[in-house]
Amino acid sequence: MIQSQLTDLTVIPFDPELSIGAANAVNTCLQIQPHEQVTIITDLASREIAASIADQVTRSRAPFRAFVLEEVAQRPLVRMPEEILQALEGSKVSIFAVEVQTNELKSRMQMTEVVNRRKIRHAHMVNINKQIMMQGMRADYARVDAISKKVLSIVSHARRITATTAAGTDLTADLNPAYRWLKTSGIISAEKWGNLPGGEVFTTPGEVNGTFVVDGVIGDYLCGRYGDLRDIPLHLSIRQNRLTEAWSEHKQLQDDFWSYTHTDENSDRVGEFAIGTNIDLKDVIGHILQDEKFPGIHIAFGNPYGEHTGANWYSSTHIDVVGLKFNIWADEQQIMEDGRFLIEAE
């Protein structure tokens, strides 16, 4: 076993209740094998969770190297530390369990560039916490994968997705057949790294138009700032795939979101259109890592993950927005009503 010269995660105590979710991550989602080199990246805020994961990696007998960000770089990260990037170059599996800080997205993109190029099975656990470890990370990922496959089989042949909610969402996404749909159901392969908890299918849309009422959560560092938006929803207007208006009674939320989505020329462009498929989740909790997997629609402005979807444009930003209790149609087929899937996994 290889450890960093600094923190040894194997000697850090952790709540044994974390072990179920950690075992799910290591054994079910990543399927780590004894011969595979693993890199674990964490920070001081998430170190206990990383220790529970390291314990499961140790049980798998796989060699690993662990990094605590504050011990190798200043936060917020300007770039991913070179020694971490070098460790990833020699890894088959990686785990990123970190509480992110403002303007660190670029450093994460540097990390995922290596992950994509080296085809590493990568678990992205941004802003992971104990609540998520004891909820979303305890999901039955065989069931989540089954419903994800069914949704994928329907939407990948659709020309248009329509979505409405009682809160006021009325959205259409015309799909580009040249762009691929992807499944990140929690079962992570070398072809596409995935967030944990898992449970979504997504693509880059051709064109989105309409209104999206964000009564769930928003992503990146704004999630930690504003949490659950049920009582202060953010209303978004989208025309020809661009954000044209953002309004909320919480004016700071409105201004922060507008600023984020105008960082570069494509920050206001819908880069992701996704359907959450984690049917073991019962409600949103105010944390984007888990809440974007909640059954329903979420979209993201900015980076379209073109290396996976086939989109030929780029943005330096990516921010998800999540709504609640959707009605969803793929062409003429209704697949969800009031937040409940109308289709069965095969």
The amino acid at residue 40 is I
296: left (phi over 0), alpha (psi -120 to 50) or beta: left
In three-state secondary structure terms, 138 is helix
Query: Span 222-229, mean pLDDT?
Result: 93
| Nearest CA-CA partner of 229 in 277, 171, 287, 165 | 287
pLDDT exceeds 80 at position 84: yes
**What pTM value is reported for the model?**
0.88
Q: How confident is the model at residue 268 (pLDDT cuts 50, 70, 90)?
A: very high
Q: Which two tokens stand for residue 89?
A: 């170059």
Query: Span 97-101, mean pLDDT?
Result: 94
d(CA 265, CA 262) in angstroms, rounded, equals: 7
pLDDT exceeds 90 at position 4: no
Instruction: Yes or no: say if 198 and 278 are a contact pair by the CB < 8 Å rule.
Output: yes
Q: How confident is the model at residue 6 (pLDDT cuts 50, 70, 90)?
A: low
Query: Span 280-288, mean pLDDT?
Result: 93
Q: For the chain, give the number of residues.
A: 346
Please report the pLDDT score of residue 345 as a whole number. Answer: 75
Residue scoring higher pLDDT (76 or 2): 76
Q: How confident is the model at residue 3 (pLDDT cuts 50, 70, 90)?
A: very low
Mean pLDDT rounded to a whole number for the chain:
95
In three-state secondary structure terms, 290 is helix
In three-state secondary structure terms, 306 is helix
Q: How confident is the model at residue 192 (pLDDT cuts 50, 70, 90)?
A: confident
Burial of 184 (0-12, 13-18, 19+ CB in 10 A): buried
Torsion of CA 148, 153, 157, 162, to 10 degrees: -40
Query: Span 60-74, mean pLDDT?
Result: 97
Query: Span 102-116, mean pLDDT?
Result: 94
pLDDT exceeds 90 at position 344: no
Q: Determine the longest span between alpha carbons in the chain, in angstroms.
A: 58
Using omega within 30 degrees of 0 as the cis cutoff, is the peptide bond preceding 197 cis? yes
The dihedrals phi and psi of 253, each to the nearest 5 degrees, come to: -60, -50
